[in-house]
Structure 1
Amino acid sequence: MQTSLEGAAMSRTARKLLSQNFLWNRELVNKLIRGSSVSQNDSVLEIGSGKGIITEQLLGICQKLTAIEADRRLHSFLKENLPIKQGLQLLPCDFLDYPLPSSEPFKVFSNIPFSITGEIVKKLLFSPNPPEDSYLVVQREAAEKFVGKKCGNTMLAVIFYPFFDIKIVHTFQRSDFKPKPKVDSCLIQLVKRKSPFIRKSNVQLYRDFVVYHFGRKRLAPAVTPSEWLAKFDEFIKKHDPRMLNKIGGSFTKWQAEERKLSKIHRTRTGA
């Protein structure tokens, strides 16, 4: 596919605001997609289609593809250059405003804007109907925040652990992107667990438990995700009404604060 907008597809300002760096090697992209779980019968969502290098490869595999691109010029470019295919939906919108499928199973494969990585991951994984499997190109530093480790875990890594298996599956060279980023990047896979480690009836309570204790540094980051689960089991067995009342609503309050900060950030940057 010819890319006549190689230098001008996205304005410099928009590219800077969204921290978008485009993959250019079709052979590499094809290898990564072929090595993923994406198959012919899947419904796939792509966030930030850019110049369509991932879109083009996904079209050759999956049955249904929804490609979201917020930049109007890039969206027009995709409409003009991608092959017309039944099952392809090109949407010119901001993913953060896009309503995810309410019940239909879907997967995600995307090179997302680095500056809103956290917002995208939280939207996907906190959804009532999260993707079955996701592959996201992200900054290496951001990836480390989501992957459960033996020590130094973040709050999000602990919250996601019972429900998703998150791992780094590929490390990119900086030369794999145009323009070349100043940071290291990788592809992370986020697989929804078929049998979560937390019962559905306790999901909200677990989130409250983690947010409350992280906020007060009651449990050290050195505690592993498995140890967090053990602590939560102990908490459930004690069934202390006073503590249940204390931690109740912690996750909802944290989400409200996060949305407020996100809105301020997007207003300042124009993203």
Structure 2
Amino acid sequence: MNQSSGLYKHKARKRFGQNFLHDTHVITSIVSAIAPAQDDHIVEIGPGQGALTAELVPYCQRLDAIELDRDLLTLLLASFSIHKGFHLHNQDALKTDYRELHQGRPLRVVGNLPYNISTPLILKLFEYTDIIADMHFMLQSEVVDRLTAQPHSKAWGRLGIAAQYLCRVERIIDVPPEAFDPAPKVQSAVVKLTPKDSSKIDLEQLGRLQALVKQAFAQRRKTLRNNLKGVVSDAQLEHFGIDPAARAETISLEQWVALSDGIEQF
């Protein structure tokens, strides 16, 4: 979520998936949704030229910015090193150990995620939900559709099931291409993910759930009977009120959780 500086013009790089946000109304809406507080510890992924950083860093205790593009480091340091709580990390967000950033207070993670890494990065961050208070991301609208999807839709699948098992998911605003420079060829949207109480998350059950769902959605057009052959029997599916001839996209989150937990008990 980035904004061009009058003194410095950085050309967006395709290999980093850069699209700099310049629409002040959208930036204001995002900051309003985040509502930074004085004791917050914010982690911003991909600050770019600092449009969102500028609106957050004065109001939080600490802001760790993770930026992969080395050419942006000088600009970010010149703009924000005056703030005692600003810390810049030149590293890949996909390879970052977010526990190393954690200093006791839950992390609030924000970012304009490059479209090519958004799904793997979100799945990686799900591994840290015990130390994350919430996440606000600008994403390709299609990815937000998948995160917020419900059964009986083409968007319902592995990403939405994992997200909704671990978090409360809320679509905040839709963002048109012209809000960015350069303008992407796709629509974007901002989503808020709020992790559920980590003490109530069963990691073993989560592992079973993810493995089961991955197998069930391996070939979306096939029935559960075919995709889960040798893994779950017709009798087991029927025990949980699931038609073996149904497709994976028709099964609710609650049914997936019950099935992944229940098949261990047969």
Q: TM-score interval w.r.t. the shorter chain?
A: 0.7 to 0.9
Count of matched residue positions in the alignment of Structure 1 and Structure 2: 233
5+ residue gaps, structure 2: 219-225, 229-246
CA shift for structure 1 position 211: 2.5
2:70 partner amino acid: R
1:189 partner amino acid: K
Q: Deviation per CA, 1:100-134, whole angstroms, max 9, x where unpaired?
A: 12554101111111111112111111236452200
Alignment-derived partner of residue 116 in structure 1: 117
Taking structure 1 as reference, are residues 196 and 187 closer, same or farther at Cα in structure 2, changes over 3 Å only?
Answer: farther
Structure 2 counterparts to residues 114-193 of structure 1, below 5 A = 114-127=115-128, 129-152=130-153, 153-193=156-196
Alignment-derived partner of residue 259 in structure 2: 231
Alignment-derived partner of residue 217 in structure 1: 227
Q: Determine the C-alpha separation between the residues in 2 that align with 1:25 and 1:111.
A: 13
Taking structure 1 as reference, are residues 230 and 197 closer, same or farther at Cα in structure 2, changes over 3 Å only?
Answer: farther
Q: 1:235 aligns to what SS in structure 2? A: helix
CA shift for structure 1 position 193: 1.1
After TM superposition, the structure 1 stretch with the greater mean CA deviation from structure 2, 206-215 or 36-45, is 206-215
2:254 partner amino acid: S
Q: Determine the C-alpha separation between the residues in 2 that align with 1:228 and 1:123.
A: 21
After TM superposition, the structure 1 stretch with the greater mean CA deviation from structure 2, 186-195 or 222-231, is 222-231
- Say if 2:16 is the partner of 1:18: yes
Q: Deviation per CA, 1:71-107, whole angstroms, max 9, x where unpaired?
A: 1111111112235111110111211222112554101
Determine if contact 1:174/1:185 at 8 Å carries over to the other structure: yes
Q: Determine the C-alpha separation between the residues in 2 that align with 1:189 and 1:89.
A: 24
CA shift for structure 1 position 162: 1.7
Residue of structure 2 aligned with 1:64, choices 62, 65, 79: 62
Determine if contact 1:137/1:186 at 8 Å carries over to the other structure: yes
5+ residue gaps, structure 1: 241-271
Taking structure 1 as reference, are residues 112 and 98 closer, same or farther at Cα in structure 2, changes over 3 Å only?
Answer: same
**Percent identity (aligned):** 24
Taking structure 1 as reference, are residues 70 and 134 closer, same or farther at Cα in structure 2, changes over 3 Å only?
Answer: same
Q: Determine the C-alpha separation between the residues in 2 that align with 1:117 and 1:49.
A: 15
